Amino acid sequence: MTAKVISFINLKGGVGKTTCCVNIAGEFAHSHKKVLVIDADAQSNTSILLMNPERYINDVLLQNQNPKASEDEIIAKTVYQIFLDAIEKKDKFDFDNAIITSVVNYKEKQSLPNLDLLPASFHLQELEQKIVTYKRTQYIILNNALKKIKEQYDLILIDCPPNLYTATMNALYASDYYVIPALPEKLSLFGIELLIKQLNEVIEIAEEESDKSVKLAGIILNNVIKAGNSRSGFINAHGTGIEDIEQKIFDFKEKGSIDKNAKVFDTMIHQRTSLREAASEFVPMCIHKPRDDSTSQFKKVCAEILKQIND
């Protein structure tokens, strides 16, 4: 197997990048895909959500194990080391040392043996200052590093920070597909348009320099509130937000500026307290509540994503 790499990107925070990434990863792993999640956000939410805070503090920040753990030892446990190696011309990063295998280990019985994590730490926020001295080919660092482990996974999912700086650009360049989690409101329209245009500039460079292509798989509408039973019930609750986003995607396709298969996924993720509960239990929905509505929504989104990437 060679992993398909998918990034979760939006310039805006709080739209559900991490929620979608964690739960979609959980769902794929649950259905026997071998999955690696890469946390590319200095806020490390994905790492903490998948590991739980205690393990994260112990095993990544190394606090209790070794109170004198140096910054270097911590960073070596995270994705940041991949970038530092490129910048400082070192070879310290070791996937075996950094990857947390079978990361979800909830009450022992209900674990997800197929789900691995490459964590982040707050040190990743220093990347922008460091990278300025490293102008050449600064977007291909992660792509090159992932070549070593792609054969070990079916899917590699990258959770991105809410900006288009180095980590996100590297994630995009390393990806076969990207997914935009977005809120179903009119304001999202402007963000999505700007995002797609800016990402297209990098994708063009990526495609010129290598034989790879990076495609928009689709937009996941998240935090959707339902009003009534039909699809028009969603539209009513969100004004024309949903229709506008669908129209925008249609227009982009007409112009040929996104992949012809890109779409607003049919399945929307509803606003649910169970999702917040799962986040405070530090487990994906498929473990927290296997029969919940939200779990089945993520399952359906996974099926839609698979269809896109296998077409």
Ligand X SMILES: Nc1ncnc2c1ncn2[C@@H]1O[C@H](COP(=O)(O)OP(=O)(O)O)[C@@H](O)[C@H]1O
| Contact status: 17 vs ligand X (CB under 6 A) | yes
Interaction mask 35-64, ligand X, x per CB under 6 A: ----------x-------------------
| Sign of the CA dihedral with 303 first, then 268, 160, and 75 last | negative
Residue 164 has phi, psi (to 5 degrees) of -115, 35
Q: DSSP letter at 58?
A: I
Q: Which residue, among 207, 269, 277, has the nearest Cα to 27 in the 3D structure?
A: 269
CB 124 within 8 A of CB 3: no
- In the bound state with ligand X, the residue whose beta carbon lies nearer, of 197 and 276, is 276
Q: Which residue, among 143, 131, 252, 156, has the nearest Cα to 207 in the 3D structure?
A: 143
- In the bound state with ligand X, the residue whose beta carbon lies nearer, of 14 and 228, is 14
Rounded to a whole number of angstroms, the minimum distance from the CB of residue 135 to ligand X is 29
Residue 228 has phi, psi (to 5 degrees) of 90, 180
Among residues 175, 222, 295, 308, which is the contact residue for ligand X, using CB under 6 A?
222
Among residues 271, 277, 293, 306, which is the contact residue for ligand X, using CB under 6 A?
271
Record the tokens describing residue 20, joined without a space: 């979608």
Report helix angle 293-310 to 273-281, nearest 10. 90
Stretch that binds Mg ion, among 11-19, 28-36, 63-71, 210-218 (CB under 5 A): 11-19
For 120, how many CA atoms within 13 A lie in the half-sphere containing its CB?
A: 26
Stretch that binds ligand X, among 191-199, 226-234, 241-249, 268-276 (CB under 6 A): 268-276
Among residues 7, 45, 47, 222, which is the contact residue for Mg ion, using CB under 5 A?
45
| Contact status: 15 vs ligand X (CB under 6 A) | yes
Rounded to a whole number of angstroms, the minimum distance from the CB of residue 87 to ligand X is 26
Angle CA 209–213–217, to nearest 5:
150
- In the bound state with ligand X, the residue whose beta carbon lies nearer, of 47 and 222, is 222
| Contact status: 279 vs ligand X (CB under 6 A) | yes
Stretch that binds ligand X, among 75-83, 108-116, 140-148, 273-281 (CB under 6 A): 273-281
Task: Give the other-Cβ count within 10 Å of 14's Cβ.
Answer: 11
**Positions that interact with ligand X (CB under 6 A):** 13-19, 45, 162, 222-223, 269, 271-272, 275-276, 279
